[in-house]
Amino acid sequence: MERAKRIEIAKKVLDLVAKDEPEYGEESWETDIGRFIDKDRFELEKQKLFLELPQLIALSADIENNGDYYATDIAGKPILLVRGQDGKARAFLNACRHRGVQLAQGCGKAKRFTCPYHAWTYATDGKLIALPNREAFEPDQLRGLVELPCIEKSGMLLVHPQPDGHLDFDEFFGPMASYLEDFDIESYALLHEHRELANINWKHAVDGGLEAYHAPILHKDTFGTGGLSQLLHIPFGDHHALIAPLEEIVTLRDIPEEDWPHHCYFSSTNSVFPNTVIGGGEPGLPVLFFQRSEPADKPGESNYVFRLYGKKNPNEEQKAIQKAGVELFLKVAIGEDMPTQVSCQKMMEAGAVPTVVFGKREINLTRMHKAYDAMIGHKAEDAVAAAHGNPVRVAAE
Ligand code: FES
Ligand SMILES: [Fe+2]
């Protein structure tokens, strides 16, 4: 990110601090709960928001060295990411071309992938290199893995889930490309991975990264109740950044602008459309996190991935700090956020709330959900009116 952008953000924060008020959006948005529980909407989202669009599926650090692989998915479509012996990152559909068995699970290191069913064997560049009884097949039936468009840039892996899908890094990220560059994501290495089949709609996990209105309450025992409340919500097209200033930001008032440190004392949690959240890291936090929640088999189920990274080549002292950072983030995300999101989902499925409200301090939530709705052609106002059983009254208010 250009220094000018950082300075602009820091100045906005200082303005709000001087006024002693948080940033408020223009509207408090009441919206339907169908977005979390409706089966038809869920299927439409899988298609329109995931399977037809590029996805920020992983970081370079997830397949750091040649031969490293990482099996994950995009809305139920199994994806195998591999760094070939040539150092190139590739994405494949994770399925054998003989009769479709999944080739690799989890993550690890491999020189080749051998199918557990009949031993068709593929190189790390996806080529079929060996199989028993080769003569039992016609030559043109012996195919390599289906490769997907994949771009590696600025420490991130962008993949299109369709083999013929259009993929352009700068087009996808827009102005957020240079913003994310500033995080120096390439300088981090994987420290820890958490995966689970979570009983939440995939959007609950994204929502947790879009607002920090909840932070001093839900995370009072982990992040604590301190910190400035002057959070900023910055849109980059359909992607969003949530700026959290450190208390030290107020010291900038006493320093000439040209001497402000590059980080300007704020961190940023970045939500990349539709479901990836990258946050933490410098300044202030020793660990970077990458979160993806994929729609699984039903609206209230998601394949949840939470990965944590620290700066490469730490000394002993930095290692201990990174370890403590990992423990803290796991407590926050898995120990505090997840059970709360499961509770949201459970109450919605039980019909305990007819609608929900995103307030003026949950600005990014409203923006992101409106973008989802626009992409699938959903009219939230109509659904809210129907939920209240009185369209005329609601429309008039
Ligand atoms: S299904 Fe993979 S070798 Fe037969
Ligand atoms: Fe949280």
CATH number for position 122: 2.102.10.10
pLDDT at 390: 57
Lining ligand 1 with CB less than 6 A are 96, 98-99, 101, 115, 117-120
Which numbered atom of ligand 1 lies nearest the CA of 103? 2
106 and 215: one domain? Answer: no
Q: List, as ranges, residues with CB under 5 A of the ion ligand 2.
A: 208, 337
Measured CA to CA in angstroms, residue 217 lies from 242, 257, 289 at distances of: 18, 34, 21
Measured CA to CA in angstroms, residue 87 lies from 56, 66, 75, 82, 148 at distances of: 20, 5, 27, 9, 17
User: Domain end: 118, 153, 188, which one?
Assistant: 153
116 and 249: one domain? Answer: no
Measured CA to CA in angstroms, residue 365 lies from 89, 213, 316 at distances of: 33, 11, 40
pLDDT at 352: 94
136 membership: H or E segment, kind and range? none
pLDDT at 2: 75
Pocket test for ligand 1, best of 93, 94, 98 (most atoms within 8 A of CB): 98
Half-sphere exposure of 156 (CA within 13 A, CB side): 28
14 and 48: one domain? Answer: yes
185 and 322: one domain? Answer: yes
User: Domain end: 119, 153, 187, which one?
Assistant: 153
CATH assignment at residue 281: 3.90.380.10
Strands 128-130 and 156-159: what pairing?
A: unpaired
The domain total for the chain is: 2
Pocket test for ligand 1, best of 113, 115, 137, 145 (most atoms within 8 A of CB): 115
> Residue 347: what are its φ and ψ, rounded to 5°?
-65, -40
CA-wise closest residue to 191 among 318, 82, 287: 287
User: Considering every ligand atom, which ligand is closest to the CA of 212?
Assistant: 2
Q: Which residues of 316-326 are buried (b: 16+ CB within 10 A; e: fewer)?
A: eeeeebbbebb
185 and 305: one domain? Answer: yes
Compute the Cα dihedral for 49, 189, 263, 324 and give only its sign. Answer: positive
- CA 300, CA 188: separation in Å to the nearest integer? 33
Amino acid at 346: K
Question: Is residue 351 assigned to a domain?
Answer: yes
Instruction: State the distance from the centre of ligand 2 to the C-alpha of 324, rounded, in angstroms.
Output: 18
Domain enclosing residue 307, as ranges: 3-53+175-382
Question: Is residue 395 assigned to a domain?
Answer: no
pLDDT at 62: 98
Question: Is residue 332 assigned to a domain?
Answer: yes
333 and 378: one domain? Answer: yes
Q: Beta strands of the chain (E only): which ranges?
A: 29-32, 55-59, 68-74, 77-83, 89-93, 107-109, 112-114, 121-123, 128-130, 147-148, 150-153, 156-159, 188-198, 232-236, 239-245, 266-272, 276-280, 287-295, 302-311, 355-358
- CA 76, CA 46: separation in Å to the nearest integer? 9
Question: Is residue 292 assigned to a domain?
Answer: yes
198 and 226: one domain? Answer: yes
38 membership: H or E segment, kind and range? none
CA-wise closest residue to 373 among 139, 72, 48: 48
Compute the Cα dihedral for 10, 179, 367, 203 and give only its sign. Answer: negative
Contact between residue 157 and residue 58 where contact means Cβ atoms under 8 Å apart: yes
Question: Is residue 228 assigned to a domain?
Answer: yes
Question: Is residue 289 assigned to a domain?
Answer: yes
Contact between residue 381 and residue 391 where contact means Cβ atoms under 8 Å apart: no
**List of residues 6+ apart from 348 with CB closer than 8 A:** 33, 36, 37, 356
Instruction: State the distance from the centre of ligand 1 to the C-alpha of 102, rounded, in angstroms.
Output: 9
**List of residues 6+ apart from 200 with CB closer than 8 A:** 293, 300, 301, 302, 304, 338, 341, 342, 344, 345
pLDDT at 22: 87
**Which residue's alpha carbon is at the smallest distance from atom 3 of ligand 1?**
118
108 and 242: one domain? Answer: no
CA-wise closest residue to 296 among 203, 378, 368: 203
Question: Is residue 237 assigned to a domain?
Answer: yes
User: Running DSSP on this structure, what letter comes out for residue 379?
Assistant: -
pLDDT at 392: 44
CA-wise closest residue to 107 among 190, 205, 202: 190
Order of strands, sheet of 55-59, starting from the edge strand that comes earlier in the sequence? 55-59, 156-159, 150-153
Maximum separation of any 2 CA atoms in the chain, in Å: 78
**Which residue's alpha carbon is at the smallest distance from atom 1 of ligand 1?**
99
197 and 123: one domain? Answer: no
- CA 232, CA 222: separation in Å to the nearest integer? 22
364 and 233: one domain? Answer: yes
User: Domain end: 122, 153, 184, which one?
Assistant: 153
Taking only the tens of pLDDT, the chain with its 397 residues reads: 678 888 999 999 999 999 988 899 889 999 999 999 999 999 999 999 999 999 999 999 999 999 999 999 999 999 999 999 999 999 999 999 999 999 999 999 999 999 999 999 999 999 999 999 999 999 999 999 999 999 999 999 999 999 999 999 999 999 999 889 888 999 999 999 999 999 999 999 999 999 989 999 999 999 888 778 888 999 999 999 999 898 899 999 999 999 999 889 998 999 999 999 999 987 778 899 999 999 999 999 999 999 999 999 999 999 999 999 999 999 999 999 999 999 999 999 999 999 999 999 999 999 999 999 999 999 999 999 999 885 544 444 4
Amino acid at 316: E
CA-wise closest residue to 10 among 261, 228, 265: 265
pLDDT at 1: 60
182 and 134: one domain? Answer: no
pLDDT at 394: 44
Amino acid at 375: M
31 and 81: one domain? Answer: no
Strands 276-280 and 55-59: what pairing?
A: unpaired
Question: Is residue 123 assigned to a domain?
Answer: yes
